[in-house]
Structure 1
Amino acid sequence: MVNPVDSKSSGTRWLLPVLLTVQFLVSLDMSVVNIALPDIGDDLGFGADSLLWVVNAYALAFGGLLMLGGRLADVVGRRRTLLAGFAVFGIASLAGGLAQTPGQLVAARAVQGAGAAALAPVALALITVNYAAGPARSRALGLWGAAGALGGAVGVMAGGLLTDWAGWRSVMLINVPVVLAVLLLSRRGVPADRRTGPAPRLDVVGALLVTGGMAVLVLGLVRTETHAWGSGTTLGTLAAAAVLLAAFAVVESRQRQPLLRLGLLGNRPVLSANAFALLMSSGQFAAFYFTSLYLQEVLSYGSTRAGAAFLPFCAGIVAGSVISTRNAGRFGERATLVTGGLLGAAGFVWFALTVGPDGTFLGSILGPSLVASVGIGMCFVPLGTAATSGVAAGETGMASGLLNSSRQLGGSLGLAVLVTVASGVTGSAGPAGDGGGPGALADGYATAFGVAAALLVAAAAATAVLHPARTPSRPAETSAETSDAAESEKSPKNLADGVDPRPYRSTQR
């Protein structure tokens, strides 16, 4: 039987640094190329309409493959999935840094997103399985959440610095030595996989349907900048995604070993965590995007200066994670999530009231950045705990993939909606012919921040309604000695739901 270990155990002292690096890199590469896009376009000869595919290719592969990546961790082993994901991510980063044509770079970014889709879910699964419930797990989850949020914020800053100092290729190549170092560390620091029962089957049909459905859904959302929401292209794409995801739900309801056991969503903490993640990410990702635009397009900051302006976000996220780690156990997941969501919303309201054509860093950025980021940082510990509450060890990858899918889908949906909202306000603001002036841009960004605040309020409200006052603990993993007894005692309902009581065990090498 596997016993979750304390974070100070000598056998796992390198595990957490590996998992934090995973979360940081995955988030970093979603934003690090943004500021480098003009240089990339000039150097490789991208057309105006095709340049965004440097970002979208990563988002499509990442969002589409997250559920598959999470389930692979349960089926083939968490350590194997982690090592394979790192290898794919590192090779794709090298290929992207050496790309000579637009097609090569876009393909490399897509493969990079596929590697990230294997890495992100397994990190949360390994924390849940290897750290005992209580202070050890809370600390690990707090650092895990902070690493992800910091990666997004630092990505903007690093993108500006690297592009200015070393050229756009450095934003891709910087991953290579990091991946090599962590691969070596992972061989010693990540527990080896040892199976205690027959290998579960991978739901291939479900994998194809959910991958296609999620990829098509993200595609429809990211293309709303060039294809209006009411256009035939957008409506057709979203309809196709709905059909694929509906077919996925039907298939999963009939599978004995599904990619996503639908009964998982009957677990109220899991449901509330995913609803919160979807809504919070919708506001958070868009807020990062509009802050970057405001700094550069309205306040005329250069790349490096704009990146440095994100430092308050980084500091606030760390502070919020520390607060949550120390107090989430005392006040409970629901209270912590509601408080963090409302505090984040207050920061976005502050942004909405102060961003203007005559804004300053001290008056329009510093204060709201700190308030919003502290609130967001407070949410990661209870979010990670709730998303795996009451989940069997053999389904932690599944639950982790679901949470990461909710976050990615929320980010894509929120950005698509808020870009449309901001563009509508900007286009109608100011005197005729001046719809794109600093004042009109600031009006559009302010409106977007207001909507982002409303999304975080909705996240807090959903948690208050859905999340129970007390949450169940994660069932212990079944030991090799008792697996036969557990198999014989499985109820018909569990058989229908496809619960496998004999998951991978983690053992120290």
Structure 2
Amino acid sequence: MPDTAPRTLGAHKGLALLVLCAQLFLDSMDVSLMGVALPEIKQDLGLGPETLQWIISGYAVAYGGFLLLGGRAADLFGRRRLFFWATAVFALVSLGGGLVSDGTLLVVSRVIKGIAAAFIAPAAMSIITTTFKEGPERTRAMGIFSLTGASGYAAGLVFSGVLTELHWRLIFFVPFVVASLVLAVTNYAVAPDRPRTGERPGFDAAGALTATAGVLLLVLGLVRAPEVGWGSTATLGSLIAAVVLLVVFVVIQQRRTDPLLPLRIFRSRTLSTANTVGLVWAGATIGWQFIALLYLQQVLGYSALQAGLAIVPMAAAILLAVNLAPKLINRSGLRPAAVLGLLLQGGGILLFLRTGTDSNYPSVLLPALIVHGLGNGTSFLAFNIAAVSGVKNEDQGLATALVTAALQLGGGIGVAVGAAVLTGVGGASPSLSAYHWAFLVAAIFSAVGLVAAALGLGAPKAEAGETADAGGDGAPATAADLQKDPA
């Protein structure tokens, strides 16, 4: 949809960031929105445990599986265009999910929403990285973007309880309203995609098929392993098939002239390290959160809503850290911020080793949550900036998809490993000792990330022309640009 009047991108940078952050807030909120509502959905629709699990898992599996395809599609077909249409799908399936009364259709709506989110996330983040110049400007924008994600997740934990008290269908209708508002202003707020010159690269259909299927099976195997068992045919079959497909994918990428994932992108030590840090960071924080929420409910007897409210101070600490981290990064660089953040993140998890069967919240739990949150927000911003630093503009969507996929995969691994430790040590009814072992394993994830960040996160060395665009700021085309060069 072309603009009706010339405008400069600078006048709309803030509005563009607001629109992108609003959708990220919605995506993050949607992840945590479902948990508290499941008992009400079960009672109202008469659903079984497996269907309820897939209301959660269907979104996670689809989101993780389609991220790489979504990121490359944004680079090839236009970031604003993809963001717009994926948000439209997200809004429609949110509305549909609130209207249906069949469990299968509800799961289908969640799967489609996960696919839409997998196209939205890399498009939104790559719009930011190509709109804001690398350095303090991008660091600040990424800080606001990260802060929005953290606040959305925390809001979901609280709103899920409030909305469910009114009616569980509101957890579908509210995202529909927000996504519709984002959709209404996207084409005004976000600058048009710069037209491609020359021949458009071919689309790697074989690579897309093998990568998507491989990641889908990998995430599926990890998500279902705690329930069906690590040695089960379903788990082993999923994981083996995933490895085979991903090996085939790598072979295809090596032989194609226009691959879905140019393997040259991993020559950047900073990018490769950032993705490694992102994977173990998610393994630590998502795995720990899974264990901590179980501890609060099963050991301390908190309700689901009480457990969600209990970790709100951690979310507040994340917001504070993400707001302060840009200053630290601009002053000291990415490596000190990442190392300090992972040190605090792991330290907060280790403080949970002080917990008992009747732990006092202000003196035992609250300090651990705050320390963890401060480290969480600081390290998250650092490795996300590192993951896209020094990357060519035409590969920004791919770079953002890679780090987001690393987070999804790491979260799946963290939850699966945490569940395995709990059941392996404590059986069907985990003891306090089993929880402590699980917390320790989550802290080890943070320690691995700390070492990786210390060794591999330095100043990115971009090759000539890698981040430069017309105008020198890496921004997408403005309406004025299109009028000057309609080709």
TM-score (norm 1): 0.88
Partners of 1:203 and 1:470 in 2: CA distance: 29
Q: 1:298 corresponds to which letter in structure 2?
A: V
Corresponding residue number in structure 2 for 1:462: 452
1:6-155 to 2 correspondence within 5 Å?
Answer: 9-155=10-156
Aligned twin of 2:353: 352
Residue identity opposite 2:225 in structure 1: T
Residue equivalent to 2:180: 180
- Superposition deviation, residue 187 in structure 1: 1.8
1:16-42 deviation digits (Å, cap 9, x = unpaired): 111212222222222211121122122
Counterpart CA distance in 2 for 1:424 and 1:158 is: 34
Counterpart in the other structure of 2:477: 506
Task: Report if the CA contact (8 A) 1:196-1:505 is conserved.
Answer: no
Match of 1:375 in 2: 375
| 1:185-206 superposed Cα distances (whole Å, 9 cap, x missing partner) | 2121111113141323221111
| 2:346/2:372 contact within 8 Å kept | yes
For 2:54 and 2:391, how far apart are their aligned partners in 1? Answer: 37
Q: Which residue of 437, 440, 446 corresponds with 2:436?
A: 446
Contact 1:299 1:360 in 2 (8 A): no
1:357-388 Cα deviation digits (max 9, x unpaired): 10132133211111001101002332222111
- Aligned amino acid, residue 100 of structure 1: S
Distance 1:65 1:196 in 2: 24
**Pairs within 5 Å for 1:137-216:** 137-163=138-164, 165-197=165-197, 198-216=199-217
Are the counterparts in 2 of residues 14 and 185 from structure 1 also a CA contact under 8 Å? no
Give the conservation status (yes or no) of the 8 Å contact 1:193–1:504. Answer: no
Per-residue CA shift, 1:103-132, capped at 9, x if unaligned?
A: 010000000001100111112211110001
Q: Quote how far apart the aligned CAs of 1:184 are.
A: 1.4
Please say if residues 61 and 216 of structure 2, whose CA atoms lie closer than 8 Å, have aligned partners that are also in contact: yes
For 1:432, the equivalent position in structure 2 comes to none
8 A Cα contact 1:141 1:380, kept in partner: no
Matched, 1:394 2:394: yes
Question: What is the CA distance between 1:479 and its match in structure 2?
Answer: 4.5
Q: Contact (CA 8 Å) 1:159, 1:307: kept in 2 or not?
A: no
What is the CA–CA distance in structure 2 between the aligned matches of 1:187 and 1:441, rounded to whole Å?
54
**Deviates further, 10-19 or 208-217:** 10-19
Q: CA deviation at 1:508?
A: 4.4
Does the CA-based 8 Å contact 2:207-2:252 persist in structure 1? yes
Cα distance between partner residues in 2 of 1:182 and 1:38? 30
* Distance of aligned partners of 1:193 and 1:367 in 2 relative to their CA distance in 1, 3 Å threshold: same
Output the amino acid matched with 1:46: L
2:410 corresponds to 1:410: yes
Contact 2:288 2:418 in 1 (8 A): no
Q: Tell me, what secondary structure is at the counterpart of 1:13? A: helix
Name the residue aligned to 2:276.
Answer: 275
Bigger shift: 174-183 or 145-154? Answer: 145-154
Shift of the 446–508 alpha-carbon distance from structure 1 to 2, 3 Å rule, reads farther
Unpaired segments ≥5 residues, structure 1: 1-6, 428-434, 481-502
Aligned residues of 1:86 and 1:119 also touching (Cα < 8 A): yes
The Cα shift of 1:469 comes to 5.1
Task: Among all aligned residue pairs of Structure 1 and Structure 2, give the percentage whose two residues are the same amino acid.
Answer: 36
How far apart are residue 353 of structure 1 and its match?
2.1
Cα distance in 1 for residues equivalent to 2:131 and 2:256: 29
What are the superposed Cα offsets for residues 43-93 of structure 1, whole Å, 9 maximum, x if unpaired?
A: 222212332011111011101100011011111101001001111111111
Instruction: Call closer, same or farther: CA 1:56–1:296 in 2, change over 3 Å.
Output: same
More helix per residue? 2
Change in 2 beyond 3 A, CA 1:331/1:159: same
Residue 291 (1) aligns with residue 282 (2): no
Larger CA deviation: 64-73 vs 444-453: 444-453
Question: Secondary structure of the equivalent of 2:193?
Answer: strand
Q: How much does 1:402 deviate? A: 0.7
TM-score of the aligned structures, taking structure 2 as reference length:
0.92
Report the equivalent of 1:472. Answer: 462
Do the aligned residues in 2 keep the contact of 1:228 with 1:234 (CA within 8 Å)? yes
Aligned residue number for residue 492 of structure 1: none
Q: Is the 8 A contact 2:291 2:418 kept in 1?
A: no
Q: Which runs of 5+ in 2 are unaligned?
A: 1-7, 481-487
